[in-house]
Amino acid sequence: MILKICPFNVSKTNYVNNSAQNPASFIKTKPMPFDSVSFKSGEKHMDSRANAVNHKLAQAVYNEAEPVAQDFQCKLLKYFGPLISDEGHPDRALAPMPKGLSIRVKKPPSICEKTASLGVANKNEIKDEMGDIIGARLVIRDASKADEVLKKLIEGVKSNDIKIFEIENYRPEAKYSYFSKKQLDSLEKICNKMRTNGVTRTEKSLPSGYTALHLSVYLPNDFKGEIQILGIDVERVKEIEDLLYKLKNNKSLDPKYKTIEEQFKELKENKPLQRAITSYSKEQYITAREKEPYPSKSKRPKKFLPAPNYVPPEYDFNNIWKMKTNCDYKTSKANISLD
């Protein structure tokens, strides 16, 4: 579902010509393709869903979250819209739309599933404990311009439009971080000035090698949200790794990825295979992070590292990407037919 936000609907021409002057002209943004993984509490295996809330409650939470997400998106566009690349400005810091800025509300089935692992039973507990019901992602086109993204982020914090209460910097090693310690120190200091209860900050190195900056934020109506900031090459790795992460942890995939779930169901129980895939994922993330910026008008190669000899060939990321692309295409074609 594409969120319909703000009273704007512009043509491609207006989008190109007015994007810098009118950030809201970046409407419409595309939701994330599936629920992004939250790393708040580490891996949680979904061996039983008996304690999940019912669908009616999850739907009610979802319905309340939608207008909050729309407002959140408008605020993000206010600051980051001018950084999104387009035909007239191909060298801006963020990737072109719809990838540059995306937002999603966690769907009711995913809310139900996650409540089973969190042990929450009512709406207030869900809002308090589930910090990624509303998620936003900023994809950096050129990591060398990450400082421009940080400056806009700080503007939003100072204006109290972006209310950060937790900063989580994920990277396999400090040298792969998108932001320096000095930059994050500055962000933390400003956030502490704005929040009476301060902000927590952590540096995390996950076995998968995941590389991104996660920001937990307070939102209206007692919701909490998450902003993910990562590079365009890392984001592509994450799309595949998220699917494998969910399978490893016995979580359900979006129904459109049923063929992927069936083909790789062995991953749910095979611990040695899980460890091998984790090592392979780490190599992918590091390689993606080390890539040099591409010229703005060049076609970015969409190749991943081939599967090493310790990983079954069917788990080659290039193969999974093709499968995912095919699933996305079939779903898109079906939706067009329904229209």
Chunked into runs of 10 residues, the chain (339 residues) has average pLDDT values of: 38 36 44 51 47 87 96 97 93 92 93 86 91 95 92 97 97 95 96 90 96 97 96 94 93 90 94 96 95 65 89 96 93 66
Q: Does 221 share its domain with 246?
A: no
Identify the domain boundary among 232, 261, 281: 232
The answer to whether residue 7 sits within a structural domain is no
The per-residue pLDDT for 337 is 57
Distance, CA of 325 to chain centre? 18
Identify the domain boundary among 232, 260, 275: 232
Identify the domain boundary among 187, 207, 232: 232
Q: Does 212 share its domain with 259?
A: no
The per-residue pLDDT for 152 is 98
The answer to whether residue 297 sits within a structural domain is yes
Q: Does 218 share its domain with 315?
A: no
Would you state the structure tokens that stand for residue 198, as one six-digit string?
Answer: 């301060």
Tokens 């008996």 sit on residue = 50
- Report the number of distinct structural domains present in the chain: 2
The per-residue pLDDT for 297 is 61
Q: Which residues span the domain enclosing 320? A: 242-338
Please state the pTM of the whole predicted model: 0.84
SS3 content of the chain, % helix, strand, coil (to 5): 50, 10, 40
Q: Does 78 share its domain with 54?
A: yes
Q: Does 206 share its domain with 306?
A: no
Q: Does 163 share its domain with 103?
A: yes
Q: Does 252 share its domain with 175?
A: no
- The answer to whether 268 and 248 are in contact (CB under 8 A) is yes
Q: Does 53 share its domain with 124?
A: yes
Q: Does 209 share its domain with 61?
A: yes
The answer to whether residue 253 sits within a structural domain is yes
Q: Does 168 share its domain with 254?
A: no
Q: Does 154 share its domain with 202?
A: yes
- The answer to whether 78 and 84 are in contact (CB under 8 A) is no
